[in-house]
Amino acid sequence: MRYIAVLMLCMLVLLPTACSQVTTQQVLATSHIAAPPTSGLKRTAQPDPFHDQRLQMVEKTIAGRGVKSEIVLQAMREVPRHEFTPPDYLDQAYADHPLPIGYGQTISQPYIVAWMTEMLALESGDKVLEIGTGSGYQAAVLAALGGVEVYSIEIVPELAASAAGRLESLGYQVNVKQGDGYYGWQEEAPFDAIIVTAAPDHLPAQLVTQLAPGGRLVIPIGPPGSYQSLWKFELDQDGKLKAYNMGGVAFVPFTGQGIEQATAVPTP
């Protein structure tokens, strides 16, 4: 891990004036469940044929690679990744690699999902924003932590609709919006944590301005079509940003009007 000294906001992100053209976003679906089960998943009488595979995945490829948070590990044990996996890839649902879900998007590698979730250091009562709902798997893991208010934005309308329906049918309480995640979700800000599951080539200013004091932001940053660096940012009580380079990753590129219209600045 490489620590970057306390950085002023203007050195890290686009100036707000460069991002003034905000595209319209609309709430597509809000899956509020009045009394969700403790794990966030609706229980059925049917046995789970993937139960043992899921436990082995967590033991070998998540806990075995250094994820220590017990609440994160328990969420990974409980959330049925096969429910978020396309039928053609069902036999790979618990393999430790990403899988295509259509529209040029993927469901992330389980280890990366757990690792990024652990970095957020979420506690009961926190409010978290996810950029890039995809199939809904990462949002389900966040919701399964318990006591966390989850918001998620997906730019692809078809994925936003299917993820919202899937999360609701499984009993996860997640607020899903279809729109350009580059601009965050201003109406619901501030957030205690923000997680981004696609890679821009810079840190969007709006996401930082929507962090609460003490908030955490986990985001891959780097050129499209190549490897990126995973960054963890922490906003202190004085509005200064601390940046930590967590190492190399590979994510699908960030898309949308916001990233296309932005004027790139050097990344941290």
pLDDT of residue 209: 96
- Tokens 């979700």 belong to which residue? 185
Indicate the average pLDDT of the chain. Answer: 85
Terminal Cα distance for the chain, rounded = 14
Most distant CA pair in the chain, distance: 55
What distance in Å separates the CA atoms of residue 106 and residue 181, rounded to the nearest whole number? 16
Q: What percent of the chain has pLDDT over 70?
A: 80
The yes-or-no verdict on residue 95 having pLDDT over 50 is yes
What distance in Å separates the CA atoms of residue 145 and residue 141, rounded to the nearest whole number? 7
**Orientation of helix 137-144 relative to helix 110-120, angle to 10°:** 40
pLDDT of residue 188: 97
pLDDT of residue 225: 77
pLDDT of residue 36: 35
In the annotation, is 108 catalytic?
yes
- Tokens 């040029």 belong to which residue? 104
> Which of 25-29, 76-80, 257-261 has the largest mean confidence?
76-80
Mean pLDDT computed over 223-239: 91
Higher per-residue pLDDT: 151 or 44: 151
The yes-or-no verdict on residue 50 having pLDDT over 70 is yes
Catalytic residue, from 20, 31, 69, 108: name it.
108
- CATH class held by domain 2-17+25-33+123-261: alpha beta
Closest by alpha carbon to 252, among 111, 133, 94, 163? Answer: 133
Mean pLDDT computed over 29-41: 40
Least confident among 12-21, 150-159, 178-187: 12-21
Mean pLDDT computed over 12-35: 38
User: Which amino acid is residue 268, in one-letter code?
Assistant: P
Pairing of strands 211-221, 191-196: parallel
pLDDT of residue 268: 52
Mean pLDDT computed over 118-138: 98
pLDDT of residue 239: 87
Least confident among 12-16, 51-55, 106-110, 196-200: 12-16
In DSSP notation, the chain reads -EEEEEE-HHHHB--GGGG--PPP-EEEEEE--SS--TTSS---SS--TTHHHHHHHIIIIIGGGT---HHHHHHHHHS-GGGGS-GGGGGGTTSSS-EEEETTEEEPPHHHHHHHHHHH---TT-EEEEE--TTSHHHHHHHHTSS-EEEEEESSHHHHHHHHHHHHHHT--EEEEES-GGG--GGG--EEEEEE-SB-SSB-HHHHHTEEEEEEEEEEES-TTS-EEEEEEEE-TTS-EEEEEEEEE--PBP-SHHHHHS------
What distance in Å separates the CA atoms of residue 251 and residue 115, rounded to the nearest whole number? 14
pLDDT of residue 28: 55
Tens-place pLDDT, residues 189-207: 999 999 999 999 999 999 9
Higher per-residue pLDDT: 181 or 30: 181
Residue 142 φ then ψ, to 5°: -60, -45
The yes-or-no verdict on residue 64 having pLDDT over 90 is yes
pLDDT of residue 7: 40
pLDDT of residue 238: 86
Domains of the chain, residue spans: 2-17+25-33+123-261
The yes-or-no verdict on residue 39 having pLDDT over 50 is no
Residue 226 banded pLDDT, cuts 50, 70, 90: confident
The token pair that represents 72 in the structure block: 């994160």
> Which of 157-171, 218-232, 251-265 has the largest mean confidence?
157-171
